[in-house]
Amino acid sequence: MYQKLAQFDRQIPKLVLIILSFLFVTVIPSCGTQTIDNYQATAETILTWQANYTNDPMEDKRGRIEEFASVSLTNYNGQKPEGAVYQDDKGLWWAKVPPKPTLDEIEVRKKRNYEQPSKPELLKQVKYHITYQQNGQTITLPTNYSVYRQVVKAYPQKIPLRLTMGINNGSVEKAKPIGQ
């Protein structure tokens, strides 16, 4: 029995090496770079009232989420959009908070008599995108806050950027100014 375990222990490093090699060969090549000089960054800020409907609010279990009034506002390159009410500490502009749902609106969404709705909460979300030109095509990909900020800083001077793409070039993970 000991000999079989020892033999298995020697095979584990080989198996790990094979798995890591496979991951390196399949994942790394699909993360490329792009150099761009015509681009735009957007941050869509979204405010949504929601309530959690649960069978027993004392149990701390997640129930069913119901969404109520929602507003969104799209920030382009860090500029103040029309309809913006305030700017947060990340430089993002937000619309006016939508009306809070009334007790009647909350109660009418109950699906069962024993469901208990939570107090309405205001959910804040942000969706970041970068749009750029490549080979005559317009490409829009999801990104993150740090890429958005880098584009916002580079946009006024139209500084070329080097983008580091995510898996299968389906997102942008980094943006670095070129020539600075």
Residue 68 confidence (pLDDT) above 80: yes
Q: Does the pTM exceed 0.85?
A: no
Secondary structure letter of residue 169 according to DSSP: G
74-123 confidence digits (pLDDT tens)? 999 999 999 999 999 999 999 999 999 999 999 999 888 888 899 999 99
Q: Which pLDDT score, from 0 to 100, does residue 24 have?
A: 46
Helix (H) or strand (E) holding 90: none
Nearest Cα neighbor of 79 from 19, 158, 152 is 152
Distance, in Å, from the CA atom of 42 to the CA atom of 32, rounded to the nearest integer, reads 22
Please compute Rg for the chain using Cα positions: 24
Residue 174 confidence (pLDDT) above 70: yes
Read off the pLDDT of each residue in 161-176 and give the average, rounded to a whole number: 94
Helix (H) or strand (E) holding 35: strand 33-36
